[in-house]
Every structure is written in structure tokens, then in C-alpha cells.
Amino acid sequence: MSFISKGFVNFSYFLQASKRYQGTKRFVYSLLEDQSYPYKKYFDYFMMLLILSSVMLLIRGVKYPLPQSAIYYNDYLISLIFMFEYLLRFWVHSSVSQAIIHQYEKDEILNRRFRFFKVIMKSLNEKWKYISSVYAIIDLLAILPFFHELRILRLFILFRAFKIFRYTKSLQQFAQVLSSKKFEFFTLMIFTSVMISVSAVLIYIAEANNDDSAIDTLFEAFYWAFITLSTVGYGDFVPVTNLGRAITMIIIISGVAVIAFTTSIIVSAFTEQLDGIKEQKVISDISKIKHFYLICGYTEVSSIVTKRMQKDGLAFVILEKDPEKMLQATKAKLPVIMADPAKQDTYEEYGIDLNKQVVSVLCLEDSDVQTIYTALTIRSINPNIKILSYLHEEKNRKKLSLAGVNNIIYPQELIGVMAKELTSKPVAFEVLHILRSQSTDVLMDEVLITERILKAKKSVKDLDIDNTSLILLGIYKKDEFYFNPSSQTVLSEGDILVVMGINFVIEEYSLNLHRMNI
């Protein structure tokens, strides 16, 4: 290995081992490319502001002279910022040092000479992929106004408007949807080009030698064919011969067909990609949620649970692999992703962090077998997360426990308890039933202790429930219920207060806790 090659290898290892270098590169990449990075939107807003101000100055300068400061701002400052951004994107597009190390280690294992030239050509090819991309070309053209001495290059300021596509996610999605119909648009373009060319030549032959005709050159014939095929028809060029008018009728009919074909392509593209766009929107929303509950399966039980969670203001995400059930959840305007919760790839693909984002998992699927697979998958990712499951058959209870489910809800057991209470203590049971129903204003409800509440309310005494018409029955803390807690009981984030009182009083009390100025 030559001295130069060895120097590049050593320098590559130095860069890969440098925490400052790698950290800076990750930060730049996140700022430029990572849609989930929280500060990227501010960078995008800043760049869009520069683009709009640049275009507005160009429009202003058409009729009115610009101040020298505005000219320097438009020609130098903005261009330099765009140039710096272009170079940063070029830098983070691929890692040359990583490619060199990979090739060097591969050659060492195979006991052959380090092929330095090959890895350099491979790295240059990766960089060229960025340079030749549509976005990179637009970025480069937006920099050209920096060379403002060449007056023609000032027109490239208009290309800065196209940079908006890079910073606006909706416009990017629109472009991606249209790109899915490349073949159809290519076919349409070929047909349109042939029609314009043939019509232009025919109208030129029919009209050019007529003194009364306005079409005198081949360029005018092409211009006429283009505006006629588009069904715009300005009327500045009108055929005067019978042959020219016949050609006009044919091209107008063709133009209607072209517009109809174009519309059908766009509509079909959006119809096919609509579910994907909605899914991307849900994924983007999930990445912004700090903490949420994960519900596996959308069933009748899930429907009831989600309604209650919405009422309590709790964030949740549903995973459902059945298209029909997913459609039902979508119609109910619930955050749902069509994915199998029993597959580990699901959580990686959709960016669901079971270790940091998910508070607990609710397995409410129709099958105990599916629930077991889901619990095993979740446990393999996070052994400590709390899993609650709905049990369909008693024989599967042990299997669910072995799969890692913390709490198992078996409806038949609840029915048995209720029947026992009904026969032995009918009055007490009837009172409990009334309290839990909607037939009275007096009911039992839960109040969640959030981080915001905890900053001002440290203990039960601080809750000041005695001065309200509510009764604190108990506190649910870490899987244990504390009945009639003392005033010195310390509160923790995630505790649930079980209170009894009039409906609107409970709601008002809960709102006051959350509206406190801290």
C-alpha cells in the first residue's frame, strides 16, 4: 500500500473515531434531511423566507431601482447561504471515510492489495448521484445569481422559487405521487409532441402561402398548434383556409382528449397513493408525540377504550392488520396504522419507540394466539414495558402470562363477581351500578396526575379536595389501589385519583388542575 493510500486510510479511521466530527455530521444531516428532527422545521421556514424575499426583490426590481443593500442581500448574502447549504448537502450525502475503511478491511480479510482507486471512484459516483439529482441541480442554479456581473444569470433567481419544493413536505408528496406515473406521463408527452409537430407542419403547409393568413413562419405554426391543442386558443392566429380549419377541428378534439387523459392520470395517481399519504401523516404525527398508549387491534372493546381515552385527553396509537377494521378506525378519525403488531419490523418501520414513547400496551385483539405473538414481540424489544391483555379463553391464561402480559382481563370473571354482588348485596350493587352509569349526575371518575399538576400539587393535602363537593375514594399508584389515602400521601406522575361527585363538578375540578399557572 502506497504512502498516500495509507494516509487516507489513517485519516478515515481518525474521522470515524472522532465524536465531534460524527456528531456534527449527524446534526447537519438531521437539520437538512430528517423530517422527524424537531428543529428541521425552523430551518425550513428560514430557507423559505429567504426564497420568498429573493423572488419579491426580483419582481420589485423590474420597474423600480433597488437600494444597494437590497442588491447585496439578494446577489451575495442569499447566494452564499444557498452555496453553504449546497456544500453541506454534498458533504452528508455519503461518507467517503466509511467507504475507504470498508474497502480497506474487505481487502485485508481477502489478503489482497488495497484498491484505493476503486473506492475513490465509487465515492465519486455516490457524490455524482447527488449532484445530478433534480433538487441538487435546482440548488446549483439558485446559486448562480451570485455571479451577478453576467446579467443573464440574474434570471436564475427564479429557480430559487423551485427550492420551495425541498422545504415543503406537501409539495414533495405531490411530486412523489406524480412520479409514480412516469410511464403514463411519458406516453402522453410523446403523443402530445407528435400531435403538435404534425399539426404545425400541416397548418404551415395549408396557411403559409395564403396572403390573408397570419401564420407565416414555422415557429408561428408551432405556437398556434401548441395553444390550440391546449384548448386555450388566444385567437391571434386564425386559419383562413378550409384545410386549416379542418386541421383545427382535429387538433381541438385531440386537445380535449389530452386534457382528459392528463386528469385521469393525476386522479388515479392520488387514488392509489392516498392511503400511503395518510399513513405517512400518521407516522409523522406519532414521531411528534412524547408519550402515548399503544393499542394492538381495533375491536369493539378497543372502540370503547379509545372513546374513554379521548375523553381523558390521553394520546394513543392503534395497530391493526385487517384492512376492514382499519377502515372502521379511520372513519372514526382515530390514529391507526395498518401493520401487524406481532412483527418486530413494524416498530422499526413506523418509528414506534417502545422504550421511550410507549407508556403501556393494550392487547385487545380478537384472538388469544395473536395476542401471545404480539406480547412476545413487544417483550423482546422492551422487557419492562407494561402489557395489558383481553383474555378470550380461560385455557390461554397461562400462555399469556408466560408471554409477558402483566394484567389479564377476563370478562367472565367480572360477570361472576357482579352476579355474586347482585345476589348477596343487591342494594350496594345497585348503588354502584347507578354511579357508573349515565343515568345520574353523581358518578365516579378518574383524574390523572400529570407532570404539570405535580409541579404545584405534591401531596393529597395540596389537592384541596376537602373544599370541594367531591369525595376522594382512593389513589391508584403503580398497580396498587390505596383506599381513603391520608393527606400526607405523596403524589407521583401517572397516579390516578378516583373521585365521586357531580359530573360537572368533577370536570371543572380536573380543568382547574390542568389550567394552573406554573
Domain end point (choices 409, 425, 459): 409
369 and 450 assigned to the same domain:
no
Tell me the C-alpha distance between 11 and 143, whole Å.
Answer: 32
Q: What is the pLDDT of residues 117-151, one digit of tens each?
A: 888 888 888 888 888 887 788 787 777 655 544 44
Domain end point (choices 245, 274, 303): 274
143 and 204 assigned to the same domain:
no
Residue 281 domain-assigned (yes or no) = no
DSSP string, 261-295: HHHHHHHHHHHHHHHHHHHHHHHHHHHH-SSEEEE
CATH at 226 = 1.10.287.70
pLDDT at 153: 46
pLDDT at 312: 77
Query: Which segments of 61-133 does DSSP mark as H helices, in order?
Result: 68-72, 78-92, 96-109, 116-131
Question: 115 near 139, Cβ under 8 Å?
Answer: no
Residue recorded with cell 437590497: 70
264 and 387 assigned to the same domain:
no
Domain hosting residue 209, numbered range: 182-274
Pick from 345, 339, 383: nearest CA to 361? 383
Determine the residue type at 374. Answer: T
Residue 280 domain-assigned (yes or no) = no
Residue 270 domain-assigned (yes or no) = yes
Question: 342 near 373, Cβ under 8 Å?
Answer: yes
161 and 127 assigned to the same domain:
yes
pLDDT at 149: 47
Question: Which strand ranges, in their side-by-side order, compose the sheet holding 471-477?
Answer: 442-448, 496-502, 471-477, 480-483
Fill in the DSSP letter of residue 66: P
The cell numbers describing 121, all together, are 471512484
79 and 140 assigned to the same domain:
yes
301 and 270 assigned to the same domain:
no
154 and 200 assigned to the same domain:
no
The cell numbers describing 52, all together, are 420568498
Tell me the C-alpha distance between 172 and 135, whole Å.
Answer: 11
The ranges of the chain with pLDDT < 50 are 148-154, 417-418, 421-422, 517-518
pLDDT at 155: 54
CATH at 451 = 3.30.70.1450
The cell numbers describing 184, all together, are 403514463
The cell numbers describing 500, all together, are 365521586
Residue 428 domain-assigned (yes or no) = no
Residue 420 domain-assigned (yes or no) = no
Domain end point (choices 249, 274, 299): 274
Tell me the C-alpha distance between 18 and 24, whole Å.
Answer: 10
CATH at 299 = 3.40.50.720
pLDDT at 237: 78
pTM: 0.50
Residue 175 domain-assigned (yes or no) = no
404 and 450 assigned to the same domain:
no
Residue 422 domain-assigned (yes or no) = no
Question: 239 near 215, Cβ under 8 Å?
Answer: yes
449 and 482 assigned to the same domain:
yes
Tell me the C-alpha distance between 335 and 216, whole Å.
Answer: 63
pLDDT at 109: 80
270 and 312 assigned to the same domain:
no
Calculate the alpha carbon distances from 213 to 63, 186, 201 in Å. 36, 34, 15
109 and 221 assigned to the same domain:
no
Query: What is the DSSP pairing of strand 471-477 with strand 442-448?
Result: unpaired
Residue 421 domain-assigned (yes or no) = no
Tell me the C-alpha distance between 473 and 38, whole Å.
Answer: 41
Q: How many domains does the chain have?
A: 4
345 and 474 assigned to the same domain:
no
Tell me the C-alpha distance between 451 and 500, whole Å.
Answer: 23
Residue recorded with cell 405556437: 223
Tell me the C-alpha distance between 367 and 42, whole Å.
Answer: 45
Question: 175 near 205, Cβ under 8 Å?
Answer: no
pLDDT at 152: 45
